[in-house]
Structure formats: structure tokens, C-alpha cells
Amino acid sequence: MWLRAPAQIFAALAILLLTAPPVLADAAADDLIRQMEDRTRAETNIATYRMQVVRAGDDDREFRMQSWDDRAGERSFIHILEPRRDADTTFLKVEGNLWMYLPRLERDIKIPPAMMLNSWMGSDFTNDDLVRESSAIEDYTNTILAREPGPDGIERITIESIPHPDAPVVWGKVVLQIRSDGIPVRQQFFDEDGVLVRTMVFEDVAEMDGRLLPTRMTMLPADKPGDSTVLFIEQALFDQPIAAEVFTRANLSRRR
């Protein structure tokens, strides 16, 4: 018995040494992702965006829109302002459900699950991006892969996110590069076979409503060289109260 005790102790120590780093890395990764979400979305935000859809051909498009985002309540509302042909098209997301109002038809429709990966307004974003039903903390195992100094002297951390087996997500893997202050730099999305599908690049860090955040986000599809969608934040307000009636189906068709 005496001879077996040291072996058991060494075995226990070995297990602790092998398992401790990933646990610590995951906790640090979760903290960084949480810091990023707190910085870029806060509890609520009201923002105006300009979106440029760039195509290798001549079919470029541009939109302006206003959005209301209640992160805590898992609700959001988007109102298209321009161009004229799309003006007053609206979108409502409530707890993973997504509705779209088409002013020309004077009716709203619910986006079915089969269409969640379809292009949103002809851009490189999808309907699923609007819903954002999955949680980077709850649905993924997040691990820090690398730490390196950035060109601005701020440390950059690379985080790999692997979905849990039963998680309701569409990606096989997500790799995020984020600054140590919580500002995202680049995010890559991979399918279940590990093939890169698209990359989001975050640029033009500026102060808005008292906080620093990237004001230009470019989505680059991996299979369509020359195509991209660029999203500019024109103005934003954070942690302001939003009336409950904003997030109702009645608001979809309300005259503005």
C-alpha cells in the first residue's frame, strides 16, 4: 500500500498538470469574448449603419439602415432607410425567430429555418447573422491558441471556438483574433469539414458614445474573390432604454 501511494500521487499531479492549462485558457478566452461583446454591443444599442455590397461585376449596392439591439432580451429590429426601392423594409428578431416586412406587398413573413443561411439583402451576411441565436460562451468551447504583439503595441490573442456536439450552430469552427482590450481584429468561419467559408475584418477603431470600437467591418466570402460586404457604423448609442413596442410585429409595418 505504501508503495502504491506515491504512484497515485504522481498520477494525480500529472492529470492536474495536463488539464489545468486548457481550463485556464478557456476561462481567459471566455472573458475576452465577453469583453468584446460588452464593448461592441453593450446591453442595448441604437445605431445607424451604411452597408456597401461589392461584387466582382457591376452589381454593387448600398444601403443605409437603423437598428435597435436589446442584447439582454435577445431582441433586435432593423429599418432600411435607403435606397428608395428598399426603404421601409423592416426586420424583427425575437428569441431566434425572424420576421421580414415587405412594404410593396404590405405584409410580413416569417423567415423559416431552412432560409437562415440565405444571403441577407443580397449581401455576404446571412439571415442567421441577424438572429445571432447561438452564444459564443454557452455553445462553444473557446481556447486560446496564440498571443503575439500587434503592430500598435497592443497584444493580439487568437481564440479557437469549437461548438459543443449538441449546440444549435451553423459553423464547424470559428477562429477569432482579438486585442487584449476586447477590440476584435479578424474572425474566420469554417464549415464542418474545416474549410474556410468567410472572413470578417474589423478596422477603423474610433470612439463612439464614449467607447472605442471598430467602425468598419468587411465580410469576405472565401469562394468569391473580389466580392465583399462592408458595414460602416455612422453613429451609435449604448445602454439607452428602448421601448418594448419597438420589438413587436405591429412595429414592422408602422408608418415612419
pLDDT of 26-62, one tens digit each? 889 999 999 998 888 889 999 999 999 999 877 789 9
Radius of gyration of the chain (CA): 21
Between CA 147 and CA 196 the distance in angstroms is 22
Segment 232-237 shows an average pLDDT of 96
Distances (CA, A) of 64 to 21, 23, 80, 158: 45, 43, 6, 32
Residue 207, SS3 per DSSP: strand
- Strands (DSSP E) along the chain, which ranges? 44-54, 61-70, 75-82, 90-94, 97-102, 107-110, 140-149, 155-163, 173-179, 184-190, 196-208, 211-221, 228-238
pTM, 2 dp: 0.84
Q: What pLDDT score does 4 carry? A: 42
Q: What pLDDT score does 241 carry? A: 95
Q: What pLDDT score does 137 carry? A: 82
* Predicted confidence (pLDDT) at residue 102 exceeds the cutoff of 80: yes
Q: What pLDDT score does 131 carry? A: 66
> Looking up cell 429590429, which residue turns up?
77
Q: What pLDDT score does 22 carry? A: 43
Taking a C-beta distance cutoff of 8 angstroms, is the pair 167, 175 a contact?
no
| pLDDT tens readout for residues 186-202 | 999 999 999 999 999 99
Taking a C-beta distance cutoff of 8 angstroms, is the pair 53, 123 a contact?
yes
Taking a C-beta distance cutoff of 8 angstroms, is the pair 177, 186 a contact?
yes
Q: What pLDDT score does 25 carry? A: 45
The domain made up of 36-252 has a fold known as: outer membrane lipoprotein receptor (LolB), chain A (2.50.20)
Taking a C-beta distance cutoff of 8 angstroms, is the pair 139, 20 a contact?
no
Between CA 1 and CA 98 the distance in angstroms is 64
Segment 137-158 shows an average pLDDT of 92
Taking a C-beta distance cutoff of 8 angstroms, is the pair 88, 103 a contact?
yes
* Predicted confidence (pLDDT) at residue 253 exceeds the cutoff of 70: yes
Taking a C-beta distance cutoff of 8 angstroms, is the pair 106, 95 a contact?
no
Q: Of 202, 247, 253, which is closest to residue 44 (Cα–Cα)?
A: 247
Burial of 246 (0-12, 13-18, 19+ CB in 10 A): middle
C-alpha cell at 232: 460602416
